[in-house]
Structures are given as C-alpha cells and as structure tokens.
C-alpha cells in the first residue's frame, strides 16, 4: 500500500478542494506500506502519479482512497495519523486491508477508476458531496469523508437519503457553538462582529451571528448587515466602525481577521488609545479563527478569547499519547481523522458487509451509533463475529447516523489582559 502526502497544514475553512501538483517521477509500481514507514514520506505528486498508472483506470482493492489535494503538509498529517491507526490494527493481531490510493482532479467523477469489487471509498478532503452521494447510491458503496467540516454538510441528509456518506470529523459549527457557549457562560451577550473581506475566516462570521442570536445573544451594528465587513485601507469605513463601537458599547468585538493583519493592528491601536468608547481592558476581543491561526497570539492589554482546540472525540487523549510516542509531536485534527479512517477501513474488511433494508449491500452498515463505544481490539472481535460496532473515536464521537455529522467537544481558552 502506498501513501500520498500533502503540503499545507492550513486546511481551508470552507469545503473548497485543495489544488494538486502534477507528478514528476515514478519508481516502479506501488511500494508496500512497510517501505513507506522505513523511508518516510515521499512527494505526493510522485506517489499519485505512480498509483494512477498502476491502477490503469481500474481499482484492484475493495477499499479505494481518493486524493485531489495538493500540498504536502495537510496530507502528511493525515497520513501520519493513518499510519498510527494501521499500527494499532496490527497490534490487535490483524493485517490491515489493502488500499488503492488514486488521484482525481477536483470536481471530477472518480467512477471510471473504480473496479467492480470496490465496496468502501475514502473521499478526498472537502469533497463535492453531490458527486460522491450519486456514486455511493449507484455503486452501493460505503463512503468515508475524512475531513468534511464546512457548509456542504448542511445538505448531507438531502443528498444522501440512504445514509452511505459518513463524515469522520465534527463540523466547524461545533467550534463556533463552543465559542458562543463560553461567551454566554461568562455573561457576554452583546457583541459586534467585524470581518476582513480578504480573510477566509470571514465566511464563518455569518454562521457565528446566526448561532449567537439563536442562543439569545445580541449582535449590534449600525450597518445593514450584522457582520461589519471593513477593508483596512478604507479610512472612512474604519472611522465609522470605531464610532459604531463607541456608540453601541458592546461587551466584545468578534473579529474574523488575522491577528497580525493591518485591520487587526488598526483596531488594536484604536482600542489602546481609548477611541472605542470605554477602558481598553474592558472590551473583550474574540478571534473567529481556526486554532492553528491563533497558536502564536500575543498578549494585549485586554482579554482575548480563542479556539484552543477544534471539536474532537473522547479517544483524543489516548490517541494523542500514542501519536506523540510514535511521531514525537503533537497531533492535529487531520492526524486524528487519518487515525480513525484507518481503523474504520480495517474493520470494514473483516467480515462480509451487511445487507440494507432494500436488500442491497451496505459496506459500512455495521457502524451502529446505538452501541456503546469500544476499544479497537474489542471492536475487531465483535466485527469478526458479525456484530455491529462503534469505535471510541479520536477525531469525533464516531456516532455515524445517516445524513448527520458526528459530534465532538472543542476547547476554548481565555487569554487575560496584561
């Protein structure tokens, strides 16, 4: 089994596919997994190019993983977690299932590459769900969505009435909900929301507003939109924003902008100089950013609230310990999704797939959200005995119900003012 690797660890907040680099070289066929462990990660483009040629438009395994992402960082994190997951399967005395890793351009239909024996498909990050839902229905596949967190999940139930698409990680909305819950728990009920139009996290501002209001919070604005989108080079808009904050007197500014951006810096200076209508240390700053973008956030004179860790599953602690021993570094949610995906793929190959109520095969139908979560070795034993199982998940709780995403628990951190 061969493995791709990816370049950037900053996966987009949306479901927009990641661009892919072309292959440059091919060194004979498909190297085994053990060679991968011995030699380390190879270039994603090289691996995918070799695999595409060796597959010859027809998959040879019952499990296929599709990549249309480029950039070695994100794929490398996923594959590192995947490797740790396979090690756990071997530790339970089971040889992992063979996986064909194939490349498909973003938005293209991968059906031409799939052989008739394929039963489980691992979709690419931020996949086009309409394509994979149609493919799953036509071919009666079980599809794992290892990193699908954005707005596309809102249409999952409608696209997938048979329940064949299974997200592995919680949606971004759970991170926002945790942030909102923390605000309300600390008595913060009136905020202003500001977004930098050039920042990709601006897309999350509307979702924050909707959820905050739904939980009883108040979003102040003098503008027609409750999200005040302000360009850093628009002096008049900035002046209007500073006056709006001063007049409205919110308890917090929720900012969707990089903490070192020009917009954030100008807002910092306005707050430090008292132009926002209250003592600088009295106005909470809430950063509407993924956790990896606030990991190096510096202290300010006022308190700040950040997402410290995205929503994750109850098995995160044990996984993180295993991962640190194996890799010598802290895991990410991407690594956890690879870990859970590897174990689910392995379980899928241990026994014949169940039959759905319509009389068709359901390759992931043994996943039972009603079961008590179990350790991997116990799940393997139950699966070999033809029993339904549910794993203790690292990336999420792995409660995989038709048309729904799994859940998890995010962690919020408050940085006190200096």
Q: pLDDT per residue over 19-43, tens digit each?
A: 333 333 333 344 443 343 344 333 3
pLDDT value for 42: 38
DSSP state of 112: G
Q: Which string of DSSP letters, residue by residue, matches 157-198?
A: HHH-TT--EEE-S--HHHHHHHHHHHHHHTT--EEEEEE-TT
Residue 132 confidence (pLDDT) above 50? yes
Comparison of pLDDT for 346 and 106, the residue scoring more:
346
Res. 73: pLDDT tops 90: no
179-208 tens-digit pLDDT: 999 999 999 999 999 999 999 888 899 999
- Please state the rounded mean pLDDT for residues 393-397: 98
Q: What is the mean pLDDT of the chain?
A: 85
In the beta sheet, which residues pair with residue 167?
A: 145
| CATH number at 173-309 | 3.40.50.2300
The yes-or-no verdict on residue 398 having pLDDT over 60 is: yes
Residue 115, CA distances (Å) to 2, 51, 59, 73, 100 in order? 18, 14, 5, 30, 11
Sign of CA dihedral 235, 238, 242, 248: positive
How much of the chain, in percent, has pLDDT values that exceed 70? 84
Q: With 90 as the cut, is the pLDDT of residue 408 above it? A: yes
- Render pLDDT for 273-285 as a digit per residue (tens, 0 to 9): 999 998 999 999 9
Q: What is the mean pLDDT of residues 198-222?
A: 94
Written as six digits, the tokens of 53 are 């040629």
CATH number for the segment(s) 33-170+314-384: 3.40.50
- Answer whether residue 48 shows pLDDT above 60: no
Q: Of 9-23, 103-117, 124-138, 220-234, which range is least confident?
A: 9-23
Domain ranges of the chain: 33-170+314-384, 173-309
């Amino acid at each position: 089994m061969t493995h791709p690797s990816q370049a950037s660890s900053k996966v987009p907040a949306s479901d927009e596919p990641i661009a892919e680099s072309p292959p440059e070289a091919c060194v004979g066929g498909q190297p085994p997994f053990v060679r991968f462990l011995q030699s380390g990660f190879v270039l994603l483009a090289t691996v995918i190019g070799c695999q595409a040629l060796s597959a010859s438009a027809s998959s040879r395994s019952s499990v296929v993983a599709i990549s249309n992402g480029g950039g070695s960082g994100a794929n490398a994190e996923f594959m590192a977690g995947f490797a740790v997951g396979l090690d756990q399967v071997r530790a339970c005395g089971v040889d992992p299932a063979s996986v064909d890793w194939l490349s498909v351009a973003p938005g293209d239909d991968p059906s031409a590459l799939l052989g008739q024996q394929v039963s489980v498909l691992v979709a690419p990050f931020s996949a086009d769900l309409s394509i994979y839902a149609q493919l799953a229905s036509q071919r009666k596949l079980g599809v794992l969505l290892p990193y699908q967190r954005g707005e596309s999940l809102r249409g999952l139930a409608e696209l997938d009435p048979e329940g064949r698409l299974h997200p592995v990680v919680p949606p971004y909305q759970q991170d926002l909900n945790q942030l909102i819950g923390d605000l309300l728990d600390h008595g913060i009920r009136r905020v202003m929301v500001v977004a930098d139009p050039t920042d990709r996290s601006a897309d999350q501002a509307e979702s924050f507003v909707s959820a905050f209001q739904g939980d009883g919070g108040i979003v102040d604005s003098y503008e027609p939109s409750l999200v005040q989108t302000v360009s850093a080079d628009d002096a008049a808009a900035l002046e209007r924003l500073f006056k709006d904050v001063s007049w409205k007197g919110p308890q917090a500014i929720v900012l969707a902008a990089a903490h070192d951006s020009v917009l954030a810096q100008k807002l910092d200076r306005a707050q430090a100089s008292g132009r926002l209508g209250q003592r600088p240390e009295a106005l909470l700053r809430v950063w509407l950013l993924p956790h990896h973008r606030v990991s190096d956030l510096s202290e300010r004179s006022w308190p700040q609230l950040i997402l410290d860790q995205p929503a994750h599953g109850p098995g995160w602690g044990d996984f993180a310990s295993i991962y640190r021993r194996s890799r010598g570094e802290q895991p990410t949610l991407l690594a956890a999704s690879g870990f859970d995906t590897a174990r689910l793929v392995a379980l899928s190959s241990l026994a014949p797939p169940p039959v759905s109520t319509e009389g068709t095969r359901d390759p992931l139908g043994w996943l039972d959200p009603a079961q008590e979560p179990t350790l991997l070795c116990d799940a393997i034993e139950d699966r070999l005995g033809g029993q339904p199982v549910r794993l203790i998940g690292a990336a999420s709780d792995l409660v995989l119900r038709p048309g729904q995403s799994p859940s998890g628990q995010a962690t919020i951190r408050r940085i006190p003012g200096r």
